[in-house]
Amino acid sequence: METREFKNYVNGKWVSSSSGRTFESRSPATGELIGMLQLSNAQDVQEVVEAADAAFQKWRKYPAPKRAELVYKVSEILRARKQEMGELLTREMCKVLPEALGDVQEAIDMAMYMAGEGRRLNGLLVPSELPSKWAMAVRDPLGVVAAITPWNFPIAIPAWKMFPALITGNTVIWKPASDTPVLAERMIEIYEEAGFPPGVVNLITGAGGVVGDGLVTHPKVRLITFTGSTDIGRDVNMKAAQHLKRVSLEMGGKNAIIVMDDADIDLAIEGIIWSAFGTTGQRCTAASRVIAHQAIKKQLLDKLAARTAKLRLGDGLLPTTDVGPVINPKAVQKIHEYTEIAKKEGASVLVGGEPATEGDLARGAFYKPTIFDNVTPTMRVAQEEIFGPSLAVLSAKSLEDAIEINNRTNFGLSTSVYTTNVNRAFEAMRDVTTGLLYINAGTIGSEVQLPLGGTRGTGNGHREGGGPVVLDTFTEWKTIYVDYSGRLQRAQIDTDALVKKI
Ligand code: UN1
């Protein structure tokens, strides 16, 4: 396989960092070297911001349908390269191939959706209280947008951020996670081929502390859209606040699947396995808690444990693999620390609970799918995000009790409720306080036509991921009144008198 040195993409050109330094991207399954990337410095940040800022003045004047056509072109090229990009995704971050193809598909979906939005971009048009006066509000771009993206959805999440930013007339600087930079490079090649004008889409790779912070604090960057951990997101927000920048944050989750005593247990088990161990638990939407009604907990756990123990670990490219590695050896360490914490706090390990090192697995960062039983709501494994294949099982006396446990964490992303009772389903729809709720489906599987985001420590009130509301994240409202009466008409003051004259 090729091992090439990749460059930054600035103002329509591929350029090396002035640092003269590079870093490596390696496969977590095999240690294979995927590529060498630019370890960018403060000067590179300055140059990329200048390029994006200069390009903005022209780009904002492109008609939105024409901007959107370029995004549509990205969808076409990406569709043609879906298999190739999916395979690279599996090599670089190792989610299993069907899921990698799903990741690419989500970006294709988002491109098509946003391409359509370019011919809509609804504003507001409302009547004025005064005669011969027009009242409306339109969307303006913000300017330079920095997209700081994670490795777990290395194609889909940047798409959620970049396509809406671009169709609304912003220019973009993409800083991808250092675990998946080669995918970002290949994606930028697609933007280049689609024909975006120079400076509209830019890429800069390197360390968060240098490149990320440089973008976050640069006065010409007007929006930071960040997906990643709550700790880093908070830091981004605090640094950006000094400059009164807009920051859109998508961060951690401690998502629960509630299984009621009237649930279809086999269906619930399918949902739990998929949501807890799919993507090796490395989704912000992954289920890391099951809250089981006490009447069915034993029955559920017996079957769930048996299914979990049979999951096959391995390289995501092999069709025999159910669960791939985690992102790097440090993650294995962190996940295992939580197993130790769980035990110390009095939980029991029902399945897994250790790194997987048999045969070829020793070359990679593998952890056995793990279930903790006898977990209580205040234990750390019931409260903190582990971001791996670790599932804490709690029990509840009623739906009310389960929802109370569900809502009482510092996160608020996704919840699932398995019940065959329609009244209970609607009660959950009323009382669950997370940004996503699934009835009789797991906690993962959002679609691009609706927003994705969370409450409490998961976000800061913005939404991404899809639906027309995401346009609010990427635009400023400009309210415009046009008075064509030819006289001074004072709103609220002259209205009644003027209306009488009609
Ligand atoms: C993430 O969890 O980081 O709903 C994003 C889902 C995917 C997106 C997940 N469509 O799981």
What is the 32 CA–ligand 1 centroid distance (Å)?
26
Mean pLDDT of 418-431: 98
**Measuring CA to CA, how many Å separate 294 from each of 4, 114, 338?**
55, 45, 25
Domain residues for the domain of 244 are: 32-251+459-480
Give the tens place of pLDDT for each residue, 432-469: 999 999 999 999 999 999 999 999 999 999 999 999 99
1 has pLDDT over 50: no
Q: Which amino acid is at 75?
A: S
Dihedral, 383, 387, 390, 393 alpha carbons, nearest 10: 30
Give the whole-number percent of the chain exceeding pLDDT 90. Answer: 98
Which among 439, 467, 497 is the end of a domain? 439
Is residue 56 within 8 A of residue 171, CB to CB? The reply is yes
- Residue 308, domain member (yes or no): yes
Q: Tokens 């800061």: give the residue.
A: 460
User: Do 356 and 224 lie in a common domain?
Assistant: no
Q: How confident is the model at residue 474 (pLDDT cuts 50, 70, 90)?
A: very high
Q: For residue 438, what pLDDT is reported? A: 98
Give the tens place of pLDDT for each residue, 308-340: 999 999 999 999 999 999 999 999 999 999 999
What is the 414 CA–ligand 1 centroid distance (Å)?
10
Whether residue 446 has its Cβ less than 6 Å from ligand 1: yes
Atom of ligand 1 nearest to the CA of 250: 3
Burial call 305-325: b when 16+ CB within 10 Å, e when fewer: bebbeebebbbbbeeebbbbb
Give the tens place of pLDDT for each residue, 124-141: 999 999 999 999 999 999
CATH of the domain at 147: 3.40.605.10
Q: Cα–Cα distance between 406 and 404 in angstroms, integer?
A: 5
Which among 410, 439, 468 is the end of a domain? 439
The model's pTM is 0.96
- Residue 20, domain member (yes or no): no
| Helices and strands: H and E segment counts in the chain | 16, 22
Q: For residue 31, what pLDDT is reported? A: 86
User: Do 78 and 204 lie in a common domain?
Assistant: yes
User: Do 115 and 238 lie in a common domain?
Assistant: yes
What is the 249 CA–ligand 1 centroid distance (Å)?
14
Give the tens place of pLDDT for each residue, 273-311: 999 999 999 999 999 999 999 999 999 999 999 999 999
User: Do 121 and 221 lie in a common domain?
Assistant: yes
Q: Cα–Cα distance between 117 and 317 in angstroms, integer?
A: 35
45 has pLDDT over 60: yes
Q: Cα–Cα distance between 437 and 297 in angstroms, integer?
A: 22
What is the 59 CA–ligand 1 centroid distance (Å)?
30
Atom of ligand 1 nearest to the CA of 414: 4
Residue 250: active-site member = yes
Whether residue 152 has its Cβ less than 6 Å from ligand 1: yes
Catalytic residue among 106, 284, 384, 464: 284
Atom of ligand 1 nearest to the CA of 283: 2
Whether residue 130 has its Cβ less than 6 Å from ligand 1: no
User: Do 237 and 279 lie in a common domain?
Assistant: no
Give the tens place of pLDDT for each residue, 342-388: 999 999 999 999 999 999 999 999 999 999 999 999 999 999 999 99
Whether residue 95 has its Cβ less than 6 Å from ligand 1: no
Whether residue 284 has its Cβ less than 6 Å from ligand 1: yes
Eight-state DSSP code of residue 452: B
Whether residue 159 has its Cβ less than 6 Å from ligand 1: no
Eight-state DSSP code of residue 459: B
Q: Cα–Cα distance between 35 and 461 in angstroms, integer?
A: 37
Q: Cα–Cα distance between 426 and 448 in angstroms, integer?
A: 24
The 3-state DSSP class for residue 263 equals coil
What is the number of structural domains in the chain? 2
User: Do 306 and 262 lie in a common domain?
Assistant: yes
Catalytic residue among 47, 92, 106, 250: 250
- Residue 4, domain member (yes or no): no
Mean pLDDT of 87-98: 95
Mean pLDDT of 411-419: 98
Q: For residue 29, what pLDDT is reported? A: 84
What is the 285 CA–ligand 1 centroid distance (Å)?
6
User: Do 343 and 469 lie in a common domain?
Assistant: no
User: Do 40 and 162 lie in a common domain?
Assistant: yes
Atom of ligand 1 nearest to the CA of 150: 3
When the pLDDT of each residue in the chain is averaged and rounded to a whole number, the result is 97
User: Do 279 and 242 lie in a common domain?
Assistant: no
- Residue 488, domain member (yes or no): no
The 3-state DSSP class for residue 319 equals coil
252 has pLDDT over 80: yes
User: Do 49 and 149 lie in a common domain?
Assistant: yes
CATH of the domain at 364: 3.40.309.10
Atom of ligand 1 nearest to the CA of 227: 3
Q: How many residues does the chain have?
A: 502
User: Do 230 and 291 lie in a common domain?
Assistant: no
- Residue 61, domain member (yes or no): yes
Residue 5: active-site member = no
Residue nearest to atom 11 of ligand 1 (CA): 444
CA 188 to chain centroid, in Å, comes to: 19
What is the 158 CA–ligand 1 centroid distance (Å)?
12
- Angle at 332 (CA atoms; ends 329, 333), nearest 5 degrees: 95
